Chain A
Amino acid sequence: MIGKDVRAERLDRLLAGAGHSLRTPLNSVLGFTEVLLMELPGSLNEEQRRLLHNVRSGALQMDMTIDDLLDLVRIETGMMELRLESVDIGAVVDDVRSELQPSADEKGLSLEVEIPPGMTCFTNGRAISRILVNLIGNAISFTDAGGVQILGVVSDGVGAARVDIIDTGIGFPESEHARLFEPFERGPAPEGDTRGGAGLGLQVSCRLADLLGTEIVVQGRPGRGSRFSLILPRRE
């Protein structure tokens, strides 16, 4: 019989090794695609540029899936430990925003942030950052016109705060709420919409929120955008 600790350690090493073996070639794919797009080896025509953008967006999606998949396995096997600490939500949102601003710019979408100064919560910064990257990233991919708003809301007396991510995207009917949090699912596609599923992002976000002892609340209407609220505890 193999002990539980030994199994956990083996699984941890296996996941770390798998991550390494996937990210090493991905570093080449993404890196050299960028080198070509920067026109370092020579100039590109419009068609070549368009095709390379396709390579890049596919590789970025794969990168996110690798991180999500590894995290999800760690969460589901009880290997993910999150230390709770005081987190400056404004600073986390700023970092996430600078990471995602290029994808919003590429689609011509606005990205508005309003977080009250001094909004701190007792939680885990890295997990909050992962959740926000997923929620805001999804909002950007499922919005074609308009933009995404990120609002920090501090409720009086209740001891809770929340971050709302509101988009003007395709939205989804209430009957689909549960399905959104299933792996690789997405809301029903309007005709001609060829976007793939949201991957594992929402599921990872949801499980991370569970681990943090909080939740993500969803509202959406078909064609009228959606709102994802991340509830945050304010003190220990």
Chain B
Amino acid sequence: MADVLVVDDTEAALDLLGYLLRARGHVAMLARNGEEAVAAALGSPPDLILMDLHMPVMDGYEALAAIRGSDEAGACPILALTAFGEVGEREKAVAAGFDGFFSKPITPETFMDQLEAFLDGEDRRGASTRASSVRPSDG
């Protein structure tokens, strides 16, 4: 069981991820923009963050930088989840330091399997030795 912070400006996307995470016994924390995400991550550091990239108020890239720069949640793995599925966006996210990249629409079962494999990997390696490379995703 893991605490997962889901950040997305689309209500339906939050609802969907909340459903899928709870169905697998995880706890879903929800944030609607980057600013809310930073506050939530620093206030109660989650095991994993799923971050939309383009959001109002503060986008996913700024939120990533703010969380990475914090003492509280600096080591938390952060995965990008976006409807901008183009190759350029993936490269930009990788360069910015996201730990993984997933594009919408997701295939729920496959997506949850990949997410849990990521959580398992993190457990084994421990947060202090977190890999900085990006895993392959479903594209």
Contact = CB atoms under 8 A, between A and B. Distances in A.
Contacts, number: 63
Contacts of A29: 105
A20 B16 contact: no
B104 A34 contact: no
A23 interface: yes
B70 interface: no
Contacts of A16: 84, 86, 89
Contacts of A63: 105
A126 B139 CA distance: 10
Contact of B54 (A20, A23, A30, A38): A20
A35 B24 CA distance: 12
Contact of B16 (A27, A59, A99, A126): A27
B85 A35 contact: no
B6 to A, nearest CB: 13
Majority SS of interface residues in chain A?
helix
B71 interface: no
Contacts of A27: 12-13, 16, 83, 104-106
Nearest to A17: B84
A34 B20 CA distance: 10
Given A28-B13, A28-B16, A40-B23, A34 B85 contact: no
Nearest to B81: A27
A34 B13 contact: no
A32 interface: yes
A23 B87 contact: no
Interface string B58-97: 0000000000000000000000001111110100000000
A16 B83 CA distance: 9
A19 interface: yes
Contacts of A26: 104-105
Given A20-B54, A23-B104, A24-B10, A31 B16 contact: yes
Contacts of A99: 138
A20 B84 contact: yes
B126 interface: no
Contact of A19 (B12, B86, B106): B86
18 contacts: A16-B84, A23-B83, A23-B103, A23-B104, A24-B10, A24-B13, A24-B83, A28-B10, A28-B13, A30-B107, A31-B105, A35-B16, A35-B19, A35-B20, A38-B109, A67-B85, A99-B138, A126-B87
Interface of A: 16, 19-20, 23-24, 26-32, 34-35, 38, 40, 59, 63, 67, 99, 126
Interface of B: 10, 12-13, 16, 19-20, 23, 54, 82-87, 89, 103-109, 138
3 A-B pairs with least C-beta separation: A27-B104, A23-B83, A27-B105
